[in-house]
Amino acid sequence: MADDTASRPKQGQSALLTAVALILAAAALPGTMLAAAGAVIGIEYRRVRTSRWLMWAAVALVIGVIAAGVNTSVWLAWSTSFAATTWASGLLSSFDTGVLGWAAAHTTMPMSQVILTQLAFGIPTGLAIGAIYSAIRSRSRRLEGTVEGEAYSNMRPVGWLDRRHERKVREQIAGGAYLQEERS
């Protein structure tokens, strides 16, 4: 019985630390948090392959870096745009180089530019977080599928492309496309 009560305070601490981390992340990186939340909801609602999430993250990263003038340092500095403009401008006055120097120089950005920079940084980062979540979750989803049934598995449900492909193959079979003629 002592083991049960000893683990409860640790669970409360970890939940509190998780909540604080999520609040800090939302205050500093709202674009990333929105993209990651959307990816996680998408993963739980419609099981898309992890490779697709990685591909979308890579494409979004390339677009974001191109938008940053093919400069990964500027793209990385865009992560600080929201904090620099909204609540951390006084904290950044002593920095003059690097990512924090960029943030200190851009504390008066218009909110439209802040939103664009947060999305250009946040979407690829959030999709990558979604891909990691998908990879971590795949084993437990597979095990849930064996115990609870198909609705809880990590198997991708049949979609409209699958149905279209099946209809096409059935039409080909009916038309004799797969018949082998006798060879002499």
* 3-state SS, one letter per residue, for the chain: CHHHHHHHHHHHHHHHHHHHHHHHHHHHCHHHHHHHHHHHHHHHHCCCCHHHHHHHHHHHHHHHHHHCCCCHHHHHHHHHHHHHHHCCCCCCCCCCCHHHHHHHHCCCCCHHHHHHHHHHHHHHHHHHHHHHHHHHHHHHHHHHHHHHCHHHCCCCCCCHHHHHHHHHHHHHHHCCCCCCCCCC
Confidence of residue 155 (pLDDT cuts 50, 70, 90): low
Task: Evaluate whether residue 177 is within a structural domain.
Answer: no
147 belongs to a structural domain = yes
pTM of the model: 0.70
Would you place residue 100 in the very low, low, confident or very high pLDDT band (cuts 50, 70, 90)? Answer: confident
Work out the mean pLDDT of the chain and round it to a whole number. Answer: 84
Domain presence at residue 181 = no
Q: Domain for residue 133, yes or no?
A: yes
How much is the pLDDT for 105? 81
Q: What's the token pair of residue 172?
A: 């080909």
pLDDT score, position 84: 86
Name the residue with higher pLDDT: 110 or 159.
110
**What average pLDDT does range 72-91 have in this prediction?**
86
Residue 16, pLDDT above cutoff 60: yes
Structural domain total, the chain: 1
Q: Please report whether residue 105 resides in a domain.
A: yes
The parent domain of residue 40 ranges over 13-157
The per-residue pLDDT for 6 is 55
pLDDT digit string, tens, across residues 20-63 = 998 988 888 999 999 999 999 988 887 777 888 899 999 999 99
